[in-house]
Amino acid sequence: MAQRKQLTWTELRVGLFVLVGLFVLAAGIFYVTGAGFLGPKYRLKTYQAEVSGLANGAPVQVNGVEVGNVESITLVPRSQAKADKARNIEVVMRLERRFQPDILTDSTASVVTQGLLGNRYINISRGFTGVPLKDGEEVPPSETREMLGSLQALSDSMQVILDDVKEGRGSIGKLITDPEAYNHLNSVMTKADTMMSNVQAGRGTLGKLVNSNELYDKVDKSVDNINGLVTDVRSGKGTIAKLLNDPTLYDEAKQALNNGNAVLSDVRSGKGSIGKLMNDDALYNHLRDTSANLDKASAKLNENTTTAGKLFSDPKLYDNLAGLTGDLRLLIGEFRQNPAKFLRVKVSVF
């Protein structure tokens, strides 16, 4: 009975060992082939310039959602690395296949640091306009994709500019395709060449200024004169030096300001003739009375009732004066013609 029980336990242990082995074998097969209870897997790769701090088994995320891990990190052969330093290191990623529709041909991969001093991981940007990447295909690095986009945009812009130039649009296009613009430019260049030749030969005003030493001598002499003038001013020579260095001028100006302030103070306080004119109300009253009297006198002149008013406004006076003037003219004329008629001298002897 005991021997039968021991044999059964041995068989059981062998069976358990076989089951565990099969389980490990199945898990390995599932891990390698991508099929199993953990879900199907597939692999993508990316090339980076550097991956310092990135280790095997590091997380791989799509916009922050973990979708797999890093399976291997290897150096690209030297011959290929020289061709493109941005593709220096190959990173193979083992990803869950259910995220394959989110990793498209317009996705990019970059090495990101978690926090300031955290571990590094791979972050893949979610694609929207491309097609899903298949097993073993490459996710381009973000720098390369951005560079390619910039180069593409630059290429498109340059193509548009070249098309405009070829068709003669714009200033550059007209300058290149229009023969008249070429002729004008050629004429300008010819005139410029002639002008430079004249300048080098010393002809014309600009040529004399460039080649003649006369202007330099005059400028140098003027600078010497200015230096001498400054030296004289500093040493106290001349009128300007005295104005700048003599304290008497400052004292006199200060005294004049003090006198002016004193005069203004006297005027404000009503002292002196100007002070009385500015502050005394009697002057204002006299001027007001005088203005009133002048107003009354002018009113009487306009009324034509007084002698002065008739003198200014009565037409008879004008007529009489005009007649008197005519008679005087006749009298003077007769006197000039026959003065003896008016100058009679009678001598009587008593």
In sequence order, the β-bridge partners of residue 141 are 109
- Chain center to CA of 89: 46
Beta strands in the chain (DSSP E): 41-48, 59-62, 65-75, 89-96, 109-113, 120-124
**CB–CB of 123/46 below 8 Å?**
no
What is the residue-level pLDDT of the chain in tens, covering all 350 positions?
A: 444 545 566 766 777 777 888 877 766 665 554 444 456 899 999 998 888 889 999 999 999 899 999 999 999 887 765 667 778 899 999 999 999 999 999 999 999 888 766 788 999 999 999 899 999 999 998 865 455 555 566 777 777 787 777 777 776 766 677 777 777 777 888 888 888 887 777 777 776 777 767 767 777 778 888 888 888 777 777 777 776 777 777 777 778 888 888 888 877 777 777 767 767 777 677 777 787 777 777 776 666 666 666 666 667 766 777 778 887 888 787 777 777 666 665 555 54
**Dihedral over alpha carbons 28, 33, 39, 41 (to 10 degrees):** 120
Q: Rounded to an integer, what distance in angstroms lies between the CA atom of residue 49 and that of residue 344?
A: 143
Q: Which of 150-166 are b and which e, b meaning 16 or more Cβ less than 10 Å from the residue's Cβ? A: eeeeeeeeeeeeeeebe
- Sign, CA torsion 246/250/253/255: negative
Ranges of H-type helices in 68-141: 78-83
Q: What is the pTM of this model?
A: 0.35
**CB–CB of 133/42 below 8 Å?**
no
